[in-house]
Every structure is written in structure tokens, then in C-alpha cells.
Structure 1
């Protein structure tokens, strides 16, 4: 039995060794030079191609040798993650099943008309512009502020009441609402405080996904209370607590289409994130959103990587719980020990049986899209460079429920919930072409189009065409209620449905997984690193929906792949973006 003095010496030695180890660990993090997990590389010569940079069609001979990472899906989450890893010296191969890379950042052209498909505006360009510049080897992406002189980015129209415009700037946002609802002044100010606090407190929740699960839980319990106290509530709960005026509630909930869930079931965090994102204004990429992919892809190619389209992945290969690569539908096997899925959680579960989504999370709502080509410039047609959200009445929750249950009456009157935007009026490169474009979007349940599941794109028969026409005509009728000057100006009209989503995105849900309060908990949130060694997840399903959410999903996953964790982010104050900016 050791003497007391010996026990004291042993304990002191253990404490001393542990302390020294921690000190050395801290010093190694603080004194590390450059990006963690990076490796040197010799820049590869520019890729010689006959097609556009976003349309590099897959052939086996184009697959690079010695691939470090395979990314399935070329949405902004996958592309941005690949670009960060490429700047860290990793050779990445991005595989896209569609014929054009970029996911929802891509634009399509038909009969001389060009339309955006998923990115209709962006906020916080001081942050996201910097992040894009950081990984852009191609022409830099520039953004045009929406709304002209007053900076109005979104207009909310409730029933037949005059539209309320959200102007850029926190003070404008508050003052414009107080001018209409003076008795709610204190509540409006408190609302904005809650929105900003909820959004700012989310970083620790998301980056905690990179920590060991035990440490993630400790951080969540000790420091995550501010975030959880708000994210655990629904949008409707917060609105009912703060406000009395139903019109004010409806206006503030008018952007719910940006997250695609009824306010009665959506987490307040996703609402707060949307409001905060646009609080300083909305912006549009000059030349269209496809400029984003065009700027990023050369960075991936610089390390010998490639972004290949028409590369439909059949499965992610796993042996002994470790990723070994992917198999394409054409039979091509590509070996790689690190695979990142940017295809969305539901699609990933179909690609690899070892990955499943939490049972209390499911895919969200889908949409019907109406693309219109108009005769006349934005000036000729008096088109605004802001978006319009049109809701049938102040009864937002019941209108959503009734529309989902039976859209018939809403369609016949052209009063469904609608988003209306004019890409040509937002983009300075399109304003003076003598013609304009319009995108009208309304929510749609996938079961409305279920009878055509399994049919081939472009060959779904007359019944499908009639269904598309029914929605398209109703949305055009709704558009003309708000913009009667467009009567007789339509020269092009095309309608897309949830099945169009499935064909181009491999999912019907426009925003991926839904955003109930449960999603923003450790139990149900999706971590970027799966239980399969070498398999990572990125994009909007590990963070939040939309351009910014998907891009930040790419940032989060790149941190994980390169080995950034608790010691780097919390103890050492090191993160990938800062390290890369100093490199």
C-alpha cells in the first residue's frame, strides 16, 4: 500500500503531465501555420474543354488520378465544400447527375429567355461575397442591391390591402412597421432583438456538430441555453406572445415561403435566420446566379480536380463500415476513401443504406413554378426590382391548411400563396434588353402529382399537361391581379412541378428537410460526419435551407474533413476561413 506522500507525488505527477500535455496541445494549435490538414500542391494547367465550364460532361478518361475526395452533387454546398478543400490542397471530384453544375444556382435558357431556378436573392453580401471571393479563381461574383434608392427587397401583400415593403436596414425595418402599427412599437423592437439574438446564438450549435458527441452535449447544456430557448419555440408561438394585431403578424410571417413551413410548426430559429439574413437588404448576382458556379469551379480544377455533369451516382460504396468510393449508374466505379454527399439527407439514405435520417425529420414542401417571358423592358413594364409575397388573408395558418387540403378554390380565384420576382429587373445586365422575365412560385404537395410518378420527363401525357396548365393559368391570373399592366405582354410561358424538381434535383422537396424545433437539437440534428468512416454530409440539411444555409453547410463539412474541432475552434480560436484568409 503506497504511503500518503507517495500518493501525493503520484497525483501531482499526473496533474503535471496532464497540464503539460494540455499546454503543448494549446501551443500546437495557436502556433500552427496555415490551414489545418492542408497539403502542398502544384497548380494544374487550365482544363481544355469544348463546352461551358458548368457543362463538363462525364467520361471515364476525365476522372483525375489520386482523388482525395469525391463529392456527390454540385449544389452550392457541394461546390463550396470542394473549393475550400481544393484550396487546402485536396484533389476533389464533384459528380453531378444533371447536365449543368450548380444545383439551384443554375439558370436555364429556353427560346431566348433566361430564368433563375433557386437563388432569387441573397442577403449579407459583406459576408457571403467575401466567402465567394475567398474561393474564386474565375471572375469575381458581384452583387446588385435590390429595391433601387429605398432598398426595398421584399413586399408583403395581405389580401387586398396595400403591400408593405421591407426596406434595407434595421432602423428602416422597425420604423416602417411602427409607422403603421404605433401601438405595437415596444413589441416590434423586442421582436427584432429576439430575431438577432436567436440568429447570432446559432453558431455554437452548428459548429458543435464538429465536436465529440460528449463535448457537443456539454457545450449545448452549458452554453446553448440562449439558442435553445428560442429555437425550441414555433414562429406562431412567438408572434402570439408579442403581438395583438393580426395584420402585423401576417406581414411579419409573410416571408414564411422562404423556409416552406407553416408558422405554427416551424422553429423560430429558421424564421429568425431568414429575417436577419435580409435585414441589411437583398442583393442579386450580376449576370445571374450561375456566375457563382462559374467563379468556383476553376478553384477545384486548380488542384487537378474536376466538376463533371451527367454523372449519376447509383450508390456510395461501403465495406467494413468504411467508404471505398462510388458506383455510377453507367457502371463506372470510382475509388476514394472520403466521400461527401451534397445530395440531401433523403437522397443520401438511398445512396447508402448505412445512413438514415432522424425519424422525426422528413422532407419538406415542394413547389410549382411559372416562368414567363414578357414583351418590354423593366422600365417599359414598370417592374419593381423587389420581390412580392402575396398571401390570401391575415389568417396565414388556416389559409395554408386549406390550400394544402384542397387547392381548387385558391386556383380558380388566383389567390394561392405566391412569390413573384422579376430576374431581369434585379440583374443590371438584363434590364435594357427590350424584354423581361418573371418567376411566380407557389407551394405544392407532392401527392397532387403522384399519379405521374415513374413517368419519363417530357413524356408524362395529356393529363399531366392539363394539370400543369391548371396551375400555370391560376398563377398567371394571380400575377395579373398584382401587376395588371402585364396583361397581353406574355410571350413565353412554362410551368414546372414537383416532378420537375425530382428530375433535376433528385428530390421533390425544394428545401430538403423540414425545420421543426426538433431539428435544432442534438438528438435530431444531422451531423456532417456520419457513422460510416469516410462518409460526410454537407449542404442545407446539416445547417439550414437556402443559398446561405447550403453554403455554410459546405463550410461546416470542410472544417470537419480537415480536422478542425473543439481544440481549434473553442480553445485555440482557429477556424478554417480565418486561416485561409491569412494564407
Structure 2
């Protein structure tokens, strides 16, 4: 990490004069913090982990291996895309992106391979080649994705409306979107086609939003699928470069980042935020922006009275699914091992819902695996770590499988826990060797993370990585907005919008706009100007070589 981008929290430090405090340093938090800092506000980020970044950070080991914890690829990052423009604004154009190429995902269902190619027309041609009798259904599916996402744009924009405007006009936008968000992915696709294998292929990437077809909102499915239709991209240098390059800009504009800073309370008085507490230490500010999820915010940092004011209830919405991940380090390069840039989605059969519902610790890897190759995606990996490679293999996880170890501490959970992790590793390696037999004998480092690992670093009590489940019910919650009913308390992060780096970044933009109102247009103008400079060839940053 670049020197002095963050510092350990100490009660003796000077925290006076803060305009805004951001709790949590995930993508939503660093987006809104940087947006505000570039608008001249005095902002500080407080992060409970010992490194910032949330799910954009990476962890390293002494042997030189490094693995991402949440970002495996990002869509819509072509140099002419709006999303790319926002990332260039946040990082001053210092973050490069590497295309994953023509093929970004491959699904293997019951031994049959299905390739996902970048570009809407390429996608349509490829799927039609697999299912020639379903050409009309595939065309209808793509049109529905596009229509749903147009409605979604208005739905998310409405989240920054003032109450009077939301009451007068917002209900129309919410109702128009509800025709898609309030139906499951399975229900919608089942109307388009009766071909169950085609439905399974179209849902093969459902792990990107964490719910099976019969449980997920089609609105979430459409946004995620649409996000990747033009292909996948990976941050050059690794996923942690998203955080590093953004925090470099944030701190350049006077922002402060404190780690090991576990906020224990958001202090309010007469329905107005006064500041935060870390233990007994009170730190005043004008507003608090929470990026730690609505469950953690309302149930752990606010009083019951504050929850009632905000009309907060998760009665009908569950947390997103958890996962178990095997991290591998290999003693040969990605090129030497012929490892792909694309991701592999493996399903033992096409009953995706059944696989998710009947998953156990013993059968999870055998039935489902998502396999990613970070070192193959990153053009800088071989320069920094010559002759090595990394793999990540993920399957379904459930916190209940590890209930016995709930009260144990990280790295000190005992031999029985280590045996469970080793068994998972053994089963997942069988899947890996089946598809990539060339890696056998090259593994020199391995680790397994469980839902308990996720809980330890994120404080998500169910070990979930996607916040609230992307079910139809999620899209009916009235409090999933940047501005709360408590003056000075704002929300950001994936719960407010949608899963993923792009979704979390969007939440940060909405939150900043809700705070700055018309003052935010200066930043939007800079985004537009940077984009214009790029195409005129005046951009002197590293993006010129893309």
C-alpha cells in the first residue's frame, strides 16, 4: 500500500472540524468520501479492519502470493463507458483496466460447456448456436434485460428524491420497475422459454448476485447480466488497486483514513446526528455516512428509538448467501500452465436451485464451483511474481455449518475447524484437477476461508458478502435510500443499490448527490471533461496506451 494513505486509530489524534465521517471503507464508502473531499469537504473514513478497501482489498502472504477477497471482474469498463469515466474521476485516471478478452465466462453444466462472449450480438449468436430452436426466446430475453435496466436506472435515481418529490412522482418510477423486480428470475425466464437447459445457462452467473433463479429478483439478475454483456475487465495490478488509487486521490484532497477503528455507536440527539463513538471516545461531525450495511448500521450502531424513526425492519428479507473459498498459489506461471483469463462456472447438473438448496459442507464443491484466475487476468502479475500463479475456487457456504465455532477467534478456532477446511480443500481440488489437470503437483500455498472469516472482517453476522439478499422483497424496502429520516445520517454501499463494485460505487454517487445536491454537478462536469480529454488525446495518464 502507498505510504501514509491510512493510519491506525488512536483516541489521542485530532479529529476536530470534520464535516463528514464515513463508517467503513468499502467501494461505496471510498466513493462518497472521495466525491465529497474533491468538493472541498473535510472527510474521515473509519475502518474496523487493519487494511482499508472492504471487498476491494487483497491479502498477501510472506511467500509473495496475493489474492482478492471480493473483486473477480468488473463489467462496462470500456474506455468510452460512463462507468469508466466515474472510475477515472475517482482515481484521477491512474487506474488501468485489462480486458479479459472475447470470452469472459464459461459455464460447464453436466459436462457440457457454454461460452459467454463479450458483446450483445456475440452473446446472441453464441447462445443461438447452442439453442438454434430458441432464437426468438434469446432475442426476447435480451430485449427484456434492456427494458428492465432502463426502468432500473429511473428506480435508483429516484432514491435521491426529496420526500415530497418521491411522494408526488417517485411512486410511478417504483411501480414501473416493480413489474420486473417483484418477480423471480425463474418466473420471468419460464415465460420466455420452456427449455430448462437454456434457463440454466442464462442463470449460470447467478453467483454474481448470490441467489438461485427461484429466489432471486429478476431486476437484480437483469442488472448484473447487463453489466457484463460487453465483457469483463480486471484492475491492472490486482483488485486492491481500486482502493489504493482512489484513496490516493482522497488523501491528496485532505481526507483521512483510520484503520483498526471499530465504531461502536452513531450518536444522535433530537433526531440529529452528533457524531460517533469508538468505545468511550466521542468524535463530533456534521454527518455520518454508513457503509457497513443496513443491518449493522441500524441494529448495532443506532438505538431502538432511532430504528423506529427510520421505520427499519428486515422482517421479510434475509441476508445474502455466504461462501467458502480455496486460495491457491502455484510455482509455475499462468502462461506455462495455460490458465485462462475467463472464469469457470461449474454445475454438476442443471438444477441450480436444487444445488443451492441441498448444499452441505461435504457436497458443495462436488456440485458447484466458481473458479477464477487472478494472475492470468493481471498483466502485471508476472513482472512482480515471476514463475508463479494464483487460483481462487469458491462454492456455496452456510454459517450454520460452522455454528460450533461461532464463539472462537480468528486463527484460533482449533483442530476440528482446520479439519473441516482441509476436507473442503480436498473436495475442491478434485474439481480443479478435473478441469485443469496440469496444475497437479504445482501447488505450494493454500488457504481456505469460511463464512466465519467473512464475519470476522466485515461484521456481517451470517458471513454474507452481498449484504441483503437480492430477492423481490428487497426492492420494496422504503429505507434503502441514501438519506434517512435522521438528520445527518446517510447510507451508502451495496444495500442501497446493488451488489458488486459498480453497484457500490453507484450508491456512493447517489449518497454524495443527496448531500451536495446541486453542488455535485461540478464533479459531474469534471467526469465529462475527463472523458472528452481522453478522446481528444489530451489525457497524459496511463490510459493513453489502452
Asked if these proteins are the same fold (TM beyond 0.5), I'd say yes
The answer for the alignment partner of 1:504 in structure 2 is 457
User: C-alpha distance in 2, partners of 1:98/1:115?
Assistant: 17
Note the residue ranges of structure 1 that are not aligned, 5 or more in a row: 1-49, 569-573
1:226 deviation in Å?
3.9
* Alignment equivalent of 2:296, drawn from 347, 357, 369: 347
Is contact 1:141–1:286 with CA below 8 Å preserved after alignment? Answer: yes
Any conservation in 1 of the 2:56–2:243 contact (CA below 8 Å)?
yes
Q: CA deviation at 1:298?
A: 2.9
Change (3 A) 1:517 1:130: same
Determine the structure 1 residue equivalent to 2:283.
Answer: 334
Match of 2:351 among 371, 389, 395: 395
Describe the superposition over 1:484-504 as per-residue Cα deviations: whole angstroms up to 9, x where unpaired. 111111111100011110111
8 Å contact from structure 1 (residues 322, 337) kept in 2: no
- Tell me what 1:527 maps to: 481
Cα shift readout 1:156-193 (whole Å, capped 9, x = no counterpart): 110212x2111110000000000110110001001001
User: Do the aligned partners of 2:21 and 2:287 also contact (CA within 8 Å) in 1?
Assistant: yes
Equivalent residues in 2 for 1:203-352, closer than 5 Å: 203-329=153-279, 331-349=280-298, 350-352=300-302
2:527 equivalent in structure 1? 581
Counterpart of 2:447? 494
Pairs within 5 Å for 1:77-88: 77-88=28-39
Q: 3-state DSSP class of the match of 2:358?
A: helix
**Aligned residue in 2 for 1:22:** none
C-alpha distance in structure 1 between counterparts of 2:522 and 2:319, whole Å: 31
1:123 is matched with which residue: 64, 71, 75?
A: 75
Cα distance in 1, alignment partners of residues 206 and 247 from structure 2: 32
Structure 2 unaligned segments of length 5 or more: list them.
530-546
TM norm structure 2? 0.90
| d(CA) in 1 for partners of 2:256, 2:347 | 44
Partner SS, residue 481 of structure 2: coil
- Worse-superposed segment, 426-435 or 524-533: 524-533
Change in 2 beyond 3 A, CA 1:146/1:582: closer
* TM-align CA RMSD: 1.9
What is aligned with 1:518? 473
Match in the other structure for 1:23: none
Do the aligned partners of 1:360 and 1:524 also contact (CA within 8 Å) in 2? no
Give the structure 2 partner of residue 368 of structure 1: 324
**Does the 8 Å CA contact 1:72/1:78 hold for their aligned counterparts?**
yes
Instruction: State the partner residue of 1:3.
Output: none
Asked if structure 1 preserves the Cα contact closer than 8 Å seen for 2:5 and 2:248, the reply is no
Q: CA deviation at 1:212?
A: 3.0
Deviations 1:9-28 (A, max 9, x none): xxxxxxxxxxxxxxxxxxxx
Number of residue equivalences:
514
Give the aligned partner of residue 543 of structure 2.
none
User: In structure 2, what is the equivalent of residue 65 of structure 1?
Assistant: 16
The aligned residue for residue 545 of structure 1 is: 499
Q: TM-score, normalised by structure 1?
A: 0.85
Q: 1:435 and 1:241 mapped to 2: Cα distance? A: 47
- Using a 3 Å threshold, how does the CA distance of structure 1 residues 63 and 552 change in structure 2: closer, same or farther? farther
User: What displacement does 1:276 show?
Assistant: 0.6
Distance 1:551 1:362 in 2: 23
**Correspondence for 1:427:** 378
Provide the secondary structure at the position in 1 that maps to 2:283. strand
Deviation at 1:52, TM superposition (A): 3.3
Cα deviation digits, residues 444-479 of structure 1 (max 9, x gap): 111111111121111111111111112222112221
SS at match of 2:273: strand
Q: Check if 1:418 corresponds to 2:369.
A: yes
Query: Distance in 1 between the 2:151 and 2:447 partners?
Result: 42
CA drift of 1:577 comes to 4.9
Aligned CA distance change for structure 1 residues 325 and 286 (closer, same or farther; 3 Å): same
Q: Distance in 2 between matches of 1:155 and 1:422?
A: 13
Q: Deviations over 1:516-566 (max 9, x none)?
A: 112223x445111122111111010000111111111101111111135xx
SS at match of 1:415: helix
For 1:53 and 1:261, how far apart are their aligned partners in 2? 39
Alpha-carbon separation, structure 2, partners of 1:525 and 1:483: 46
Secondary structure at 1:563's aligned position in 2?
helix
Q: After superposition, give the CA deviation of every residue in 1:6-65 in whole Å (9 maximum; x if it has no partner).
A: xxxxxxxxxxxxxxxxxxxxxxxxxxxxxxxxxxxxxxxxxxxx9734552223455443
- Is this contact kept in 2: 1:144–1:286, CA < 8 A? yes
Report the counterpart of residue 40 of structure 2 in structure 1. 89
- SS of equivalent to 1:165: strand
Report the alpha carbon displacement of residue 402 of structure 1 after superposing the two structures with TM. Answer: 1.4
Whichever of the two has the greater Rg, that structure is 1
SS in structure 2 at match of 1:495: strand
Deviation, 1:337, is 2.4
Q: 1:384 to 1:438 in 2, by over 3 A?
A: same
**Alignment of 1:443 onto 2:396:** yes
- 1:146 and 2:92 correspond: no
Q: Paired residue for 1:475, among 403, 415, 428? A: 428
Measured after TM superposition, the shift of residue 223 of structure 1 is 4.2
Q: Residues of 1 paired with 2:246 and 2:361: CA distance?
A: 41
Match of 2:409 in 1: 456
- Structure-to-structure mapping, 1:374-389, within 5 angstroms: 374-389=330-345
Q: What is the Cα deviation at residue 361 of structure 1?
A: 2.0
Q: Is the aligned partner of 1:559 residue 2:510? A: no
| Greater alpha carbon shift after TM alignment, 121-130 vs 80-89 | 121-130
Quote how far apart the aligned CAs of 1:92 are: 0.4
Q: Is the 8 A contact 1:102 1:293 kept in 2?
A: yes
| Alignment match, 1:160 | 111
Task: Give the conservation status (yes or no) of the 8 Å contact 1:129–1:141.
Answer: no
